[in-house]
Amino acid sequence: MKPDESTATDPELLYAVSGGVATLTLNRPKKFNPISSAMLDALESAFDRAAADRVVRVVVLAASGPAFSAGHDLKEMMANRTPEFIGELFGHCSRVMLRIQSLPQPVIARVHGIATAAGCQLVAACDLAVASTAARFATSGINFGLFCATPGVPVSRNVSRKRAFEMLFTGEFVDAHTALAWGLVNRVVPEDRLDAEVGALAASIKGKPPAVCAAGKKLFYQQLESGLSNAYQIASVAITENMLGEDAGEGVGAFIAKRKPVWRER
pLDDT tens series, the chain, 266 aa: 343 455 665 589 999 999 999 999 999 999 999 999 999 999 999 999 999 999 999 999 999 999 999 999 999 999 999 999 999 999 999 999 999 999 999 999 999 999 999 999 999 999 999 999 999 999 999 999 999 999 999 999 999 999 999 999 999 999 999 999 999 999 999 999 999 999 999 999 999 999 999 999 999 999 999 999 999 999 999 999 998 988 888 888 889 999 988 887 76
Cβ–Cβ < 8 Å for 235, 219: yes
Characterize 154-190 residue by residue with b for buried, 16 or more Cβ atoms within 10 angstroms of its Cβ, and e for exposed.
bbbebbeeebbebbbeebebbebebbbebebbbbbbe
Tell me which residue range forms the domain holding 199.
Answer: 6-206
**Has residue 85 been placed in a domain?**
yes
pLDDT given at position 10: 57
**CA pair distance 4, 21, nearest whole angstrom:** 10
Indicate if 234 and 185 belong to the same structural domain: no
Maximum Cα–Cα distance for the chain, whole Å?
65
Phi/psi for 188 (5° steps) reads: -130, 130
**Has residue 194 been placed in a domain?**
yes
Phi/psi for 59 (5° steps) reads: -115, 130
pLDDT given at position 231: 96
Indicate if 141 and 77 belong to the same structural domain: yes
Q: Give the 3-state secondary structure of residue 131.
A: strand
Q: How many CA within 13 A on the CB side of residue 235?
A: 12
The CATH number covering residue 14 comes to 3.90.226.10
Cβ–Cβ < 8 Å for 73, 31: yes
Indicate if 89 and 163 belong to the same structural domain: yes
**CA pair distance 88, 161, nearest whole angstrom:** 28
Indicate if 152 and 240 belong to the same structural domain: no
The CATH number covering residue 245 comes to 1.10.12
**Has residue 131 been placed in a domain?**
yes
- Out of 167, 183, 206, a domain closes at 206
The four Cα atoms 64, 137, 126, 190 give a dihedral, to 10 degrees, of 60
**CA pair distance 97, 99, nearest whole angstrom:** 5
Indicate if 169 and 247 belong to the same structural domain: no
> Taking Cα atoms as reference points, which of 23, 101, 102 lies closest to residue 58?
23
CA distances from 128 to 59, 75, 124 (A): 10, 30, 8
pLDDT given at position 245: 86
Cβ–Cβ < 8 Å for 194, 112: yes
- Out of 190, 206, 222, a domain closes at 206
**Has residue 58 been placed in a domain?**
yes
**Has residue 128 been placed in a domain?**
yes
DSSP string, 2-64: -TT-EEEE-SSEEEEEETTEEEEEE--GGGT----HHHHHHHHHHHHHHHH-TT--EEEEEE-
pLDDT given at position 266: 62
Indicate if 59 and 186 belong to the same structural domain: yes
Give me the sign of the Cα torsion angle 66, 72, 77, 78.
Answer: negative
**CA pair distance 218, 224, nearest whole angstrom:** 10
**Has residue 266 been placed in a domain?**
no
pTM of the model: 0.94
**Has residue 241 been placed in a domain?**
yes
**Has residue 1 been placed in a domain?**
no
Q: How many CA within 13 A on the CB side of residue 228?
A: 0
Structural domains of the chain, count: 2
